[in-house]
Structure 1
């Protein structure tokens, strides 16, 4: 199977863009925002729940991705091929659903539960979009994290939008996404997260 989308072309070797993509990948944003929301929700007890949320939304999904990568089911942890994402995303959804169930049963802080529900809503929408178009998770996840952080800590958190711009640049330079895909990812990711988190908190 062709390793690239038809309109993206051959991947580009750009060390700085690659480092940005790797260091600021979605997993790392998820691990940070789950702890940030956990602290706001219930201080140290909330951080414990944030760790639980991080395990089900970031750690287990990346283990699932690495498992498939090692077996050659998809190219790398960034899942360049859109078709592969249609297999990867449902696996992530199962993990997030398990986390939601655990939080509901053991009465997790409302804000932490609202955060992971926002993640689930985003996954559902992005799964539908991915069936026809390769929208960017690399900009969607940080945009969602920044949106949630701004709701609980104030507008100063929006300063981190600068990092989303840098990530989008890296994805376009590497030819992993088009400009439209990174912009759509940021707008959709931030919008869905802000709406669902506000509704459920």
Structure 2
């Protein structure tokens, strides 16, 4: 079968998508960082619901009723409702997580997911920032805060994902670049403040 560049770009876009990247990073943070904690699976369940289960159910439901045209939500005008719901989901997850009295960084994840989704929503009113790149780079920022500089190697995925999103005409260069830079800087700054590091 001949190599299909469009299919390759599409695979990259799905493999390095928010609903894959976020839970993978949360598994690493919880199990490698706090696997000894008896409540580690409870932490993971709250994070997993907020990052994967709720978004998948939401986007599938919106696609089914015709509120969005594609699972990647390519049109800026269609992003407002799902982003609004995800703000509520992460805020709720933050409240659930607090009841477990976890390490402070875990409540910070959900709090700043909600805060940053508000930020993305406000940008979306006028412009189309790349949520794929924002999620990837903010996830690397989280890993950097948890595990140190070794996590920065994952930033090599940023230009690959940028190429994919641009090739698929989902975004232009500036939309991917801003998403990548702002996502990383925001998450690192927020978690430094939140954890007092």
Give your verdict on TM over 0.5.
yes
Give 1:163 shift.
1.1
Partner of 2:81: 87
Unaligned runs of 5+ in 1: 1-12
Q: Does 1:103 align with 2:103?
A: no
User: Equivalent residue for 1:58?
Assistant: 52
Moved over 2 A (4+): 39-42, 44-48
Q: In the aligned structure 2, how far is the partner of 1:27 from the partner of 1:137?
A: 11
Is it true that 1:157 corresponds to 2:151 in the alignment? yes
Alignment-derived partner of residue 19 in structure 1 = 11
* Partner residue, 1:31: 23
| Segment of structure 1 superposing worse, 83-92 or 43-52 | 43-52
* CA deviation after TM superposition for structure 1 residue 132, in Å: 0.3
TM-score by length of 2: 0.90
Partner secondary structure for residue 14 of structure 1: helix
User: What secondary structure, in the 3-state scheme, does the structure 2 residue paired with 1:88 have?
Assistant: helix
What are the superposed Cα offsets for residues 30-68 of structure 1, whole Å, 9 maximum, x if unpaired?
A: 101212222355225334302311211222112101110
Match of 2:134 in 1: 140
Q: Which runs of 5+ in 2 are unaligned?
A: none
How far the C-alpha of 1:105 sits from its partner, in A, is: 2.5
Aligned residues: 189
- The change in CA–CA distance for 1:159 and 1:199 in structure 2 (over 3 A counts) is same
Would the aligned equivalents of 2:137 and 2:184 in 1 still touch at CA under 8 Å?
Answer: yes
| Contact 1:49–1:108, Cα closer than 8 Å, also in 2 | yes
RMSD: 1.5
- Per the alignment, residue 6 of structure 1 pairs with none
In the alignment, is the contact (CA less than 8 A) between 1:31 and 1:54 conserved in 2? yes
The 3 A distance-change label for structure 1 pair 118 and 151 is same
